[in-house]
Structure 1
Amino acid sequence: MKNKAKQLLGQVALISFVSTAAMAQDVPPLATLGPAPIPADNPMTPEKIALGEKLFWDGRLSGNGAMPCSACHLPDAGWGTATPISFGYPGTQHWRNSQTIVNSAYYNKLFWDGASRSLELQAKAAAGGGVAGNGDGSMMEMRLRFVPEYVAAFKEVFGTVPHISAAWMAIAAYERTIVTDATKVPFDRFLAGDETAMSDEAKRGMELFNGKANCISCHNGALVSDQKFYNIGVPAAAEFEEDPLYQITLRWELYQKGGRHEDYKTGADDLGLYHQTKRPDDKHKFRTPSLRELRWTEPFMHNGGLETLADVVAFYNAGGGEGQTAGLTPLGLSSEEEADLVAFLEALSMDEPLLLDEPELPETNTWAEFAK
């Protein structure tokens, strides 16, 4: 009983510390993630999730039949690509780092610039994006209708033949199951009262996170992100200066997203949130990413410009990059404090990466068989 009481007192003290640090800045304290929010217009069922899993891995939902969602969100690469910038559709080149889909169910806006407000819209945008899936909706839909297994599954789940809008709903339902397991996260176990779950270095790092380093001002709440947008001065990706295909992509994105002619002619970097708002003050702002599962999702930043967590901490310790407007200032952390902060950031990830096997995909019918 004494040990139990001591454990409970330690838990109360920890929660008090985390909450007090957050309250001092009027931000949500760090917490354990609850169940993923489910939209009322796309309820979850086991059958829908199973359908979404196959569609997530199916290249039929792309232009050339070989660029499924999983092409840029690989489980063994942290559900990203593990490259600075994501893979492009063959013949093109992408222009941003592929964000992990782990815990994407908790974001209120998707993509680095908040271009989509739901996983359903995100799936559609990615599959049809000119430098991503490059798929035509009507063609992708017809491919699904030539797969008997999909015809049966869509009828069971949605009551109709395959419709492309329903495909995005199924994929989103599946993605809402790709979330952190709190029992496997050192910080969450520590928060639940297990004082041995985090190392002494991580505990010191947590104090820095909430105090001297002030990470919690933007990385707060259960998602460890305020989901707001900031320009922290991340340098432009070197690829945009060295590779013509990257330069073509950059100029094309600046043009097709409706930027000013001046931006198109002289642009040398991603303008971020500006592409959505067209407000000059929003140039180079990107959404605060969650710090959960960072251990498995390097490199970091919207263009993969920082390779390791140590690089990220050093970047913030120096006060961010040139031209930042987020109000960052040098932190004055010692090398030991930087290492402690990295240890805490790693403690926000599961002990092992979330790995799932690729499902077996159904075959397409011939026209003669389809016509029967």
Structure 2
Amino acid sequence: MLRLALLSIFLLTLRVPGSLCAQETYFSDVPLGIDWIIVPQDNPMSAAKVELGKQLFFDVRLSGNGTLSCASCHDPNKGWADDRKFSPGAHGQFTTRNVPSVVNVGLHRTFFWDGRAASLEEQALVPMTNPAEMDISLNELENRLRSIDGYRLQFEAIFADGVTSQNVARCLASFQRTLVAGETAYDRFRGGHADALEGEIGRGSGIFFGKANCGNCHIAKIYTDHKFHNIGTGIHDTKQDRGLAQRTGKEADIGKFRTPLLRDLALTAPYFHDGSKATLQEVVDFYNEGGGKNANLDPHIVPLQLTPEEKKALVTFLREGLRSNVYPRIEKPQLPK
């Protein structure tokens, strides 16, 4: 069990590659299958910060018109995602990409489908200021939170400078890092329980890491390579969502999107950045047919020639073999007044 609420967060020092930071910290009180969650050195974890972040995550007052919270789209009852292809913002305008789950989001090195944010802290404020999402200015956000005594007092107890947009981001990021899931059948198998992958789940695992080559990008045990790939999604009338190219400006990056995590997939339909596949069976069929043909298709995406039985076993592994026994089930907290 995670014991973050009791502040039994075990902080250690970790040296990581220069592309991340010269030095970071991490907490290791995580379920089987997750080694640690990296924490920026300038935003150390604390129980007070996590609790405040949880309140902010569920509060619609963080949107301009008071109708939308982070949890409106990242719904705990929908896999901390949304069960719609695209999600409506505060004014009813829909997002252009599918909402990803925030479970295990602390494992990522970049954020958003196109990787345009380098940290959870940077990511946290983007939906708030986006006119198509929460549509609130940072100045208005700060003034609104300062006017709520319950929030103002908590911020002042944690931060010397009290309510600022950056401190809002720090609290939201801290809370999201606690949304950790693990102890899947495959995690137990890797942990030495050979019987955890018996029957069709075991056959599906063999196909996942073997004939289907899913493990080329969804590397065990975090199920991502932290890279961006063009698998042929997001193509409409010969036009394709630019993806990573929107950030880099490179034609070769058109259609490339971040490799997602795979734990608890059964809870997070629809799938892909464009929400184009409604079921795991459709996902497997898509890959089996060689993805969506386009000029920048990743060379790893080729027809798999799986039999119906192999496809069935692969779906079973994705649905059952990657289902977490330890999962963040959190109710909406009482909000400050």
TM range (shorter): 0.7 to 0.9
**Is 1:361 matched up with 2:332?**
no
Query: Of Structure 1 and Structure 2, which has the larger fraction of its residues in helix?
Result: 1
**Is 1:350 matched up with 2:331?**
no
Q: Which amino acid aligns with 1:315?
A: F
What is the alpha-carbon distance in structure 2 between the residues aligned to residue 94 and residue 359 of structure 1?
A: 27
**Is 1:135 matched up with 2:136?**
yes
Q: What aligned pairs does 1:318-337 form with structure 2 within 5 A after superposition? A: 318-323=289-294, 325-327=297-299, 328-337=301-310
For structure 1, list consecutive stretches of 5 or more residues without a partner in the other structure: 1-30, 242-266, 364-372
User: For structure 1, which segment, 80-89 or 347-356, has the greater mean C-alpha deviation from structure 2 after superposition?
Assistant: 347-356
Q: Which amino acid aligns with 2:310?
A: E
Q: Which amino acid aligns with 1:96?
A: R
Q: Which amino acid aligns with 1:169?
A: R
Quote the residue 1:228 is aligned against: 227
In the alignment, is the contact (CA less than 8 A) between 2:63 and 2:90 conserved in 1?
no
What is the alpha-carbon distance in structure 2 between the residues aligned to residue 131 and residue 151 of structure 1?
A: 28
Percent sequence identity over aligned pairs: 37
**Is 1:276 matched up with 2:247?**
yes
CA deviation after TM superposition for structure 1 residue 36, in Å: 0.9
1:287/1:50 CA distance change after superposition, 3 Å: same
Give the counterpart of 1:308 among 263, 279, 303. Answer: 279
1:125/1:88 CA distance change after superposition, 3 Å: same
Quote the residue 1:290 is aligned against: 261
What is the alpha-carbon distance in structure 2 between the residues aligned to residue 39 and residue 61 of structure 1?
A: 24
In the alignment, is the contact (CA less than 8 A) between 2:244 and 2:254 conserved in 1?
yes
Hey, which bits of structure 1, 4+ residues long, moved more than 3 A? 351-354
CA deviation after TM superposition for structure 1 residue 117, in Å: 0.7
1:114/1:336 CA distance change after superposition, 3 Å: same
Q: Which amino acid aligns with 2:170?
A: M
Q: What aligned pairs does 1:97-176 form with structure 2 within 5 A after superposition? A: 97-176=98-177
Higher relative contact order (CA 8 A, sep 6+): 1
CA deviation after TM superposition for structure 1 residue 127, in Å: 1.2
Quote the residue 1:252 is aligned against: none
Alignment partner of 1:37: what SS?
Answer: strand
What is the alpha-carbon distance in structure 1 between the residues aligned to residue 308 and residue 71 of structure 2?
A: 38
RMSD of Structure 2 on Structure 1 (CA) = 1.7
Give the alignment's TM-score, normalised by structure 2.
0.86
In the alignment, is the contact (CA less than 8 A) between 1:292 and 1:348 conserved in 2?
yes
Equivalences, count: 303
Q: What aligned pairs does 1:187-206 form with structure 2 within 5 A after superposition? A: 187-206=186-205
Alignment partner of 2:195: what SS?
Answer: coil
Quote the residue 1:19 is aligned against: none
**Is 1:90 matched up with 2:91?**
yes
In the alignment, is the contact (CA less than 8 A) between 1:32 and 1:188 conserved in 2?
yes
Q: Which amino acid aligns with 2:56?
A: L
What is the alpha-carbon distance in structure 2 between the residues aligned to residue 357 and residue 63 of structure 1?
A: 24
Alignment partner of 2:260: what SS?
Answer: coil
CA deviation after TM superposition for structure 1 residue 67, in Å: 1.4
- For residues 77-116 of structure 1, the C-alpha deviation after alignment (integer angstroms, 9 at most, x for no partner) is 1101111112233142211100000011010100000011
Report which of the two structures shows the higher radius of gyration computed on alpha carbons.
1
CA deviation after TM superposition for structure 1 residue 193, in Å: 2.0
For structure 2, list consecutive stretches of 5 or more residues without a partner in the other structure: 1-31
- For residues 147-183 of structure 1, the C-alpha deviation after alignment (integer angstroms, 9 at most, x for no partner) is 111111111111233111101100000000001132x
Quote the residue 1:366 is aligned against: none
